[in-house]
Structure 1
Amino acid sequence: MFTGIIEATGEVRKIEKEGTNVHFTLVGPFTQELKIDQSLAHNGCCLTVVKISGEEYTVTAINETLEKTNLGNLEVGSLVNLERCMIMNGRLDGHIVQGHVDKTGDVVSIENIDGSYFVTFKYEEDGAFTTVPQGSITVNGISLTVAESKDNQFSVALIPYTWEFTNMKNLKVGDKVNLEFDIIGKYIAKLLKK
């Protein structure tokens, strides 16, 4: 369980393929605090720490994860949003985030509005996911508030801090992002389909 409040960005140092699996080795500011078998969200996708060596750690993504997320697009040098799992006696600053990416979306537009940013994303509509104005959405692991909502797209407004201290500043039109829709909205959408 996560909150969508990004702690830091990590840098991809090595990518190794093994069968259909991919091992990502990264460096991050809290590597020394990690433990083997710990859950850690990477662009909103929960992955398990399988190795720690000095300032670097390694996680493994299986084929299903690579098909559902943007992790397969990572390259050596890519910045990844990182969040350790939630501590149950702490504040829930963002919203309830499971670390299970529902689908990817594409960046449609990025507007700089005098220092803040208005970013629009589109996704393939299948009736299972929805957004609502002032509702919650997770983009690359970041808990955000929906500013505008349409059938297969939504927009968010970002404060300069979020832009600067996450990998949002590296986005370009056409880039793929990981989306996790609000858990309550997902349950309602499924009930309505029945």
Structure 2
Amino acid sequence: MFTGIIEAQAEVVAIRDEQSNRHFTLRCPFTSELKIDQSVAHNGVCLTVVALEEDTYSVTAITETLSRTNLGQLKQGDTVNLERCLLAGSRYDGHIVQGHVDQVGICEEVKDQQGSWLFRFRYQPQGAGNVTVEKGSICVNGISLTVVESGTDFFSVAIIPYTYEFTNLHAVKPGDQVNLEFDIIGKYVARLLQK
């Protein structure tokens, strides 16, 4: 389980395809603290550390992951947002995030609001659970954010300078894909209301 509070960014240093799998080798500030089998969220996608070598580590994405997320578009030199799994007994600063991306969304607009940024994203509704509500939670590229405006196939979020600077949102521009994980409580409520 994760909280959507980004801990660091990792640089993609190598990408290797093997059959239908894609292996990513990354470098981050806490590589020396990682261990094999550890879960780490990459742009909100929970991936398992499968190899460690000097100052890099590797993770593997399978076809299902590549088809639902923006990880398949990564190139060498790109950065991804990182969060290690939640420690028992620590503060819970974001919202409940599973690291199971529901789908991608497309950035439609980025507005500089002289001290903050307003991002608007559009997505294809895929089932009743992928919904947003104003002032509810949404996870974008692994970042726990509060919804400002909510529609049936779009939402907007306001970004403070710290989040803009210390995540990869500063590089997101109109037309770019982002990973979306909708609020787990909202998904369960929507499912129950369908019955």
Q: TM-score range by the shorter chain?
A: over 0.9
- Structure 2 match to 1:133: 134
- Structure 2 match to 1:29: 29
- Structure 2 match to 1:6: 6
| Percent sequence identity over aligned pairs | 60
Distance 1:142 1:155 in 2: 14
- Structure 2 match to 1:169: 170
Q: What is the letter of the counterpart of residue 145 of structure 2? A: L
Residue 59 of structure 1: how far off its partner (Å)? 0.2
The answer to whether the 8 Å contact 2:48/2:59 transfers is yes
- Structure 1 match to 2:116: 116
Alignment of 1:1-194 (within 5 A): 1-126=1-126, 127-194=128-195
Helix, strand or coil for the counterpart of 2:135?
coil
Residue 190 of structure 1: how far off its partner (Å)? 1.1
Distance 1:85 1:92 in 2: 11
TM-score scaled by length of structure 2? 0.98
- Give the RMSD, CA atoms, in angstroms: 0.6
Give the length in aligned residue pairs. 194
The answer to whether the 8 Å contact 2:116/2:160 transfers is yes
Residue 189 of structure 1: how far off its partner (Å)? 1.1
Query: Which residues of structure 2 form unaligned runs of 5+?
Result: none
Residue 115 of structure 1: how far off its partner (Å)? 2.5
4+ residue segments displaced more than 3 Å: none
Q: Which moved more, 1:121-130 or 1:87-96?
A: 121-130
Distance 2:165 2:76 in 1: 21
Residue 192 of structure 1: how far off its partner (Å)? 1.8
Helix, strand or coil for the counterpart of 1:155?
strand
Residue 128 of structure 1: how far off its partner (Å)? 2.8
Helix, strand or coil for the counterpart of 1:129?
coil
Q: Which moved more, 1:125-134 or 1:71-80?
A: 125-134
Q: Which moved more, 1:150-159 or 1:184-193?
A: 184-193
Distance 1:136 1:88 in 2: 22
Per-residue CA distance 1:58-108 (angstroms, 9 max, x = gap): 000000000010000000001100000000110000001000001110001
Distance 2:116 2:161 in 1: 5
The answer to whether the 8 Å contact 2:95/2:144 transfers is yes
Helix, strand or coil for the counterpart of 2:32?
helix
Q: What is the letter of the counterpart of residue 54 of structure 2? A: G
Residue 125 of structure 1: how far off its partner (Å)? 1.2
